[in-house]
Amino acid sequence: MVDLVITPANVRSEGGASLGEKTSGVALTAGQVLTLDTDATAILASDATVELARAIGIALQNVGAGQPIKYQSKGRINLGATLEVGKHYVLSAAGAIAPVDDIEPGNFATYLGWAESTSILRLQPLTATVAAAAAVV
């Protein structure tokens, strides 16, 4: 998948969003997609397994392991990246975000949301429970 290039310093919630806070299980960077580990700490989500693909939201700050991490679970978010208006975006590998048309066979395609503008994603995660059978183009 071709992942978005996110500038962590530019990631921010755009008001009216659903926010949460967890303890980080690993070092995390603003703009990365998060999931929960078995001990309920926040770790990087991934499209590799259905368990890792259960996204809880997108990190809003940079933190080290064991620190509180604020994240956004729904609503408008500035990803600090250039988006294509109207395009839908999905979870990629290791907390990354990619356009929906870059899904590859075997990926668990967690839908993250659609681009309202060239910088704003309308975040509305939906986790797939089966792997993609073929590439999406």
Is the confidence at residue 136, as pLDDT, over 80? no
Q: How many CB atoms lie within 10 A of CB 86?
A: 9
**Which residues, 6+ apart, have CB-to-CB distance to 19 below 8 Å?**
13, 60, 70, 71, 72, 73
Q: What is the 3-state secondary structure (H, E, C) of the chain?
A: CCCCCCCHHHCEECCCCEEEEEEECCCECCCCEEEECCCCCEEECCCCCCCCCCCCEEECCCECCCCEEEEEEEEEEECCCCCCCCCEEEECCCCCEEEHHHCCCCCCCCEEEEECCCCEEEEEEECCCCCCCCCCC
Domain assignment of residue 30, yes or no: yes
pLDDT confidence tier of residue 1, bands split at 50, 70 and 90: low
In a domain, 2, yes or no: no
* pLDDT tier at 106, thresholds 50, 70, 90: confident
- For the chain, how many structural domains are there in total? 1
The larger pLDDT score, comparing residue 47 to residue 135, is at 47
CATH number reported for the structural domain that contains residue 38 in this entry:
2.40.300
3 lies in some domain? no
pLDDT score of 23: 98
Report if residue 135 sits inside a domain: no
pTM score of the predicted model: 0.92
Question: Is 1 part of a structural domain of the chain?
Answer: no
Residue 15 lies in a domain: yes
- Binned at pLDDT 50, 70 and 90, residue 62 comes out as very high
Is a pLDDT exceeding 90 seen at residue 41? Answer: yes
Flag whether pLDDT at 128 surpasses 80.
no
Reply yes or no on whether the pLDDT at 13 is more than 70.
Answer: yes
Domain span at residue 62 reads 8-126
pLDDT for 60 beyond 80 = yes
19 within some domain: yes
Would you state the pLDDT for residue 61?
A: 98
Range with lowest mean pLDDT among 59-73, 85-99, 119-133:
119-133
Any domain includes 96: yes
Token pair recorded at residue 50 = 């259905």
